[in-house]
């Protein structure tokens, strides 16, 4: 099996897992994305390539990033403390998030950085 075949099979697995997580039937997902059910089935089995436009539609319908659907890892994972801060910030009002950003910028400029902080 070639590396490309493995890659398409992995993408297909991620598409299927995302669809199943949302409890969508193949027919429902195919309609939402604009494919036939058989085309969706082939894609989920790694036997049909997906173009960039289709991938963007899958990402939108499934509420996932293209990176998550393709398995492309972030270049640098965020520290858990930053992830926790981001989760907490989603609950804030837009005004409070803007204030939080201003405070973060203040902290960045107040003293020299001594390396990454977690």
- Phi/psi-derived region of residue 34, left when phi > 0, alpha when psi is between -120 and 50, beta in every other case: left
**How many CB atoms within 10 Å of residue 70?**
18
- 74 three-state secondary structure: coil
Question: How many angstroms separate the CA atoms of 69 and 59, rounded?
Answer: 7
Question: CATH top-level class for 3-70?
Answer: mainly alpha
The confidence score (pLDDT) of residue 117 equals: 53
The confidence score (pLDDT) of residue 73 equals: 67
pLDDT in tens, the chain (118 residues): 577 888 899 999 999 999 999 999 999 999 999 999 999 999 999 999 999 999 999 999 999 889 889 987 656 777 888 888 888 888 889 899 989 988 888 888 886 655 555 5
The confidence score (pLDDT) of residue 116 equals: 56
Give the global pTM: 0.60
Give start-end residues of each CATH 1.10.260.40 domain in the chain.
Answer: 3-70
Question: How many angstroms separate the CA atoms of 16 and 34, rounded?
Answer: 16
Question: How many angstroms separate the CA atoms of 64 and 41, rounded?
Answer: 19
Integer angstrom CA distances of residue 109 from 78, 103, 105, 106, 112: 21, 10, 6, 5, 7
């Amino acid at each position: 099996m070639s590396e490309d075949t493995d890659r398409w099979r992995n993408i297909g697995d991620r598409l299927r897992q995302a669809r199943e997580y949302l409890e969508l039937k193949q027919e429902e997902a195919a309609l939402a994305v604009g494919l036939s059910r058989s085309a969706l089935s082939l894609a989920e089995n790694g036997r049909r390539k997906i173009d960039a436009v289709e991938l963007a539609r899958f990402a939108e319908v499934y509420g996932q990033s293209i990176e998550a659907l393709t398995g492309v890892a972030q270049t640098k994972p965020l520290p858990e403390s930053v992830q926790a801060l981001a989760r907490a910030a989603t609950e804030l009002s837009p005004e409070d998030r803007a204030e939080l950003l201003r405070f973060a910028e203040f902290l960045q400029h107040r003293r020299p950085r001594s390396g990454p902080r977690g």
